[in-house]
Amino acid sequence: MYADGSRTGSSRTAPTIENLPPALDARRCAVTIDADFVREYTENRLQHMSEQSMTTPSDRYDSTRRAWEDIWDTASVDVELEAVEYVRSQETIRLYQPFLPTDAPILEAGSGLSAVVITLRKMGYRVFGMDYAVNALHTSHAYDATLPLLAGDVHHLPFADNSLGAYLSFGVLEHFEHGMGAALAESYRVLRRGGVLVLTIPYPNVVNRLVAWRRKAQGISTLTDDDFYESTYTRDRLVGEVKRAGYRIERVAPTSHSYTLWGLGGVFRAPGYYKTSALAEMIGGALRVTLPWAFNFTTLVVAKK
């Protein structure tokens, strides 16, 4: 829920643009940010971002952020946590978990309702979350007030150079009309030498292309709508973006084949939150071996600085 600004008992002074710290020590991320502070910090951070014009701000950039706020307004932490336990989610975690450091802080940039943050913290990792949708942070704190969360934008990370052990980004960087280059450069800046980038991005699979073709035939934009930007990346294009940022590729893997089938509807869907049926899981498992890229839903990239 949004803070209403009337909270009492808080001794924290909300930062203004004038006193906004250009870079926070990563150790501060262990401190829980209260709801009033999160709200003020986010508002100032986003205004600071637009004034710096680092990323060629656009109306669609802001409207996409507002669209995410609308999505999180109707979402549930419990439901998001349930989705993390789905077979496809657990398979993806097992692919990147061996690369996560146990001796350094880890940022999930674009943490939404913090389901991944909660899950990985239970596994013993020093993970904290950051999002530019302020209501997602409030909802997360309503669920667990001890969660270490920050408000901010992936193009202007409030962390010192070489301060983080890993940077996680799950389905975030495809939502920027100006591309992912600036955000990847920021991730590279804040990671220490040997730090790990974990990135998932939607892939233009056969179902995606079928839907795009049908929308084009109907005279509809291939984007979700005029206010919400989303793109897909081929394997080569995505790997090229990561390499241009300076990273060394460690792993590239197609994932979530069963969810590609979910997009076809019918027998591939099960009751629940974007839940795939047993049939989708069975066929998806076979496709992962026989047609790994044709039915890839999201490409996982693990890279090191």
Q: What is the helix (H) or strand (E) element at residue 196, kind and residue range? A: strand 191-202
Write b or e for each residue in 109-143: b if 16 or more Cβ atoms lie within 10 A of its Cβ, otherwise e: bbbbbbbbbbbbbeeebbbbbbbbbbbbbbbbbeb
Tell whether the model's pLDDT for residue 43 goes beyond 70.
no
Q: Which of the two residues, 44 and 196, has the higher pLDDT score?
A: 196
pLDDT digits (tens, 9 = 90+) for 150-164: 988 999 998 999 999
Nearest to 147 by CA among 119, 168, 170: 119
Least confident of 119-128, 181-190, 214-223: 214-223
Q: Please name each of the domains of the chain with its CATH number.
A: 26-204+219-255+298-304 (3.40.50.150)
> pTM for the complete prediction?
0.79
**CA distance to 83, 89, 116, 209, per residue, from 281 (Å):** 14, 12, 22, 21
Report the pLDDT averaged over residues 41-58: 46
Least confident of 128-132, 213-217, 234-238, 240-244: 213-217
Report whether 130 contacts 190 (CB < 8 A).
no
Residue found by looking up tokens 């990323």 in the block: 55
Residue 214 pLDDT grade (very low, low, confident, very high; cuts 50, 70, 90): confident
The listed range with the strongest mean pLDDT (141-145, 197-201, 213-217) is 197-201
Report whether 241 contacts 184 (CB < 8 A).
yes
Least confident of 112-126, 134-148, 186-200, 290-304: 134-148
Q: What is the pLDDT of residue 15?
A: 27
Nearest to 154 by CA among 83, 238, 61: 61
Q: What is the pLDDT of residue 216?
A: 73
Q: What is the pLDDT of residue 178?
A: 82
Is the alpha carbon torsion for 7, 10, 14, 20 positive or negative?
negative
Q: Which residues contact 99 (CB under 8 A, 6 or more apart)?
A: 166, 196, 198, 250, 251, 302, 304
Tell whether the model's pLDDT for residue 53 goes beyond 80.
no
Q: What is the pLDDT of residue 211?
A: 73
Report the pLDDT averaged over residues 286-302: 97
Least confident of 20-34, 184-198, 273-287: 20-34
CA pair distance 211, 23, nearest whole angstrom: 43
Query: How is residue 242 written in tokens?
Result: 């990561």
- Print the SS3 string covering 200-234: EEECCCHHHHHHHHHHHHCCCCCCCECCECCCCCC
Which burial class, exposed, middle or buried, applies to 100 when counting CB atoms under 10 A from its CB (0-12, 13-18, 19+)? buried
Report whether 142 contacts 1 (CB < 8 A).
yes
Q: What is the DSSP string of 217-283?
A: HTT--SSSBTTB------HHHHHHHHHHTT-EEEEEEEE-HHHHHHTT-GGGB-SSTTPBPHHHHHH
Report the pLDDT averaged over residues 17-24: 31
Q: What is the pLDDT of residue 4?
A: 23
Tell whether the model's pLDDT for residue 31 goes beyond 90.
no
DSSP state of 199: E
pLDDT digits (tens, 9 = 90+) for 221-245: 554 555 545 789 999 999 999 999 9
Nearest to 256 by CA among 211, 304, 201: 201
% of the chain exceeding 90 in pLDDT = 62
Q: What is the pLDDT of residue 229?
A: 57
Tell whether the model's pLDDT for residue 45 goes beyond 70.
no
**Alpha helices, DSSP H, located in 123-205:** 134-143, 181-190
Query: How remote is the C-alpha of 106 from its chain's centroid?
Result: 13
pLDDT digits (tens, 9 = 90+) for 76-105: 999 999 999 999 999 999 999 999 999 999
